[in-house]
Amino acid sequence: MKQSNNTSRREFLHQSAVLGAGAVLAQSSNLFAEKSSGLGNGPYPAEGMAGYSETGPLQFLKFQRRALGPKDVAIKIHYCGVCHSDIHTIHGDWGNIHYPQIVGHELAGEVVAIGTSVSKFDVGSRVGVGTMVDSCRHCPECLRGSENYCENGNTQTYGSKDRDGSITQGGYSTFVVVDEDFVLSIPASIDLAGAGPLLCAGITTYSPLRHWSVAPGKKVLVAGLGGLGHLAVQFATKMGADVTVVTTTPDKEEDARRFGAKDVLINKDGADWSKYKRAFDFILDMIPYQHDLDRFLPLLKRDATFCRVGVGKLTTPNEYGQMTTVLERTSLAGSNTAAFERLRKCWISALLRTSNRRSQRYRWAESTKRGRGSLRNKPGTVSLWTWR
């Protein structure tokens, strides 16, 4: 690699990140199309917004994405969805992390360079990256296409040890380099801002609904109407289920019904849910903090399943009574995102079709096009940047 080429690309990337105009991004594709043919494949200077402590605001960070491996693609990130996992991670709720840490695992953008063996994408491809960027590839789970349950631990999009020993940095940044096996194609008919949130919130709720065979005639309880819950209601409704929503926020009732719920329970102390005892075939729990599971488990029919996908602070686990599952032979389960091959083959199109009522209130994506100036100078534009 000639140093002059490398230097000029870095300067260009820096400028495009700062300026962030669509025209500049279009130029970047052309530039990389030329350079990806062998004139240099990184490492890629990148910029992002990182947590530097458990409680401080996100702050600007310059860093480098790795050089392209044969199967890697470099992606210019246009949008990144905001997930509660990001907040849990920065706050250290799920264990100690290495600061500075950039979070964000609902990336949507455009391929700007490809490695020599990449076969699924080309420069200019519209793509997304979700919660994982690698896995061991050889354990029984990986071999059966369930890398989200990799026995050796998959590499998460942020906060994981990467193949080169560095800690992965997430999507609130300008560029990312990812193995093509962990990149999804986004159809031209789908806007990138809307596609990102499906890659964590979407698949995390869609996967258990499919696994536990939600279908017409089934009664489903969706616990928590937030970023995940508002998609879960829509998916379960489209699958034909009779959906009820539980929320602590009374003014979400109208939204819940608009998303497809037939009934809404307000979760507050003293609420009488006795008429819902043994009423549901499946409960999907998205509540991201400690709560009383004994309010929910008795609402399951015999042999039915309560599945958690929301995870709170690990030091404050949920508890439930010893007899709760025994009396009705019910199951308490959990589920972790979804496998890529399944997503690629069929789920992504289903997700995109069925989540047509998106709502800024429940899930949004941050644009990285505005560049660092906007991110730094307008922290009040979105709560993410000032969550503490």
Stretch that binds Zn ion, among 114-122, 151-159, 166-174, 229-237 (CB under 5 A): 151-159
Match 């010893």 to its residue by tokens. Answer: 322
Task: Tell me whether strands 365-367 and 72-81 are parallel, antiparallel or unpaired.
Answer: antiparallel
Identify the DSSP state of 365. E
Note whether 136 binds Zn ion by CB under 5 A: yes
Provide CB contacts within 8 A for 141, sequence distance 6+.
147, 149, 150, 151
Cα diameter, the chain: 73
Shortest reach from residue 6's CB to Zn ion, in Å: 34
AA letter at 71: K
Note whether 90 binds Zn ion by CB under 5 A: no
Radius of gyration of the chain (CA): 22
Note whether 77 binds Zn ion by CB under 5 A: no
**x-or-dash string of contact with Zn ion, 170-189, rule CB under 5 A:** --------------------
Phi-psi region of 337 (alpha: psi -120 to 50; beta: other; left: phi over 0): left
Note whether 200 binds Zn ion by CB under 5 A: yes
Stretch that binds Zn ion, among 24-32, 79-87, 246-254, 342-350 (CB under 5 A): 79-87
Judged by CB under 5 A, how many residues of this single chain contact Zn ion?
Answer: 9
Which listed residue (97, 123, 150, 203) binds Zn ion by CB under 5 A?
A: 150
Which listed residue (13, 17, 108, 142) binds Zn ion by CB under 5 A?
A: 142
Q: How far is CA 242 from CA 6, 110, 219, 283, in A?
A: 57, 38, 5, 12
Stretch that binds Zn ion, among 19-27, 82-90, 183-191, 368-376 (CB under 5 A): 82-90
Stretch that binds Zn ion, among 80-88, 286-294, 340-348, 375-383 (CB under 5 A): 80-88
Stretch that binds Zn ion, among 35-43, 140-148, 339-347, 372-380 (CB under 5 A): 140-148
**Residues 41 and 67: beta-carbon distance below 8 Å:** yes
**Residues 203 and 347: beta-carbon distance below 8 Å:** yes
Shortest reach from residue 82's CB to Zn ion, in Å: 9
Which of 152/248 has CB closer to Zn ion?
A: 152
Which of 10/91 has CB closer to Zn ion?
A: 91
Which listed residue (41, 85, 155, 205) binds Zn ion by CB under 5 A?
A: 85
Which listed residue (19, 139, 167, 333) binds Zn ion by CB under 5 A?
A: 139
Q: What is the DSSP string of 163-187?
A: TTSPBP--SSBSEEEEEGGG-EE--
Q: How many Cα atoms are found within 13 Å in the side-chain-facing hemisphere of 1?
A: 16
Note whether 83 binds Zn ion by CB under 5 A: yes
Stretch that binds Zn ion, among 28-36, 93-101, 144-152, 302-310 (CB under 5 A): 144-152
Residue among 204, 75, 60, 84 at smallest CA distance from 128: 75
Shortest reach from residue 141's CB to Zn ion, in Å: 5
Which of 84/219 has CB closer to Zn ion?
A: 84
Shortest reach from residue 146's CB to Zn ion, in Å: 9
Shortest reach from residue 83's CB to Zn ion, in Å: 3
Note whether 339 binds Zn ion by CB under 5 A: no
Beta bridge partners of residue 47, listed in sequence order: 62
Which of 197/371 has CB closer to Zn ion?
A: 197
Provide CB contacts within 8 A for 222, sequence distance 6+.
229, 232, 233, 236, 243, 244, 245, 246, 261, 284, 286
Q: CA 158, CA 220: separation in Å to the nearest integer?
A: 32
Interacting residues toward Zn ion by CB under 5 A: 83, 85, 135-136, 139, 142, 150, 152, 200
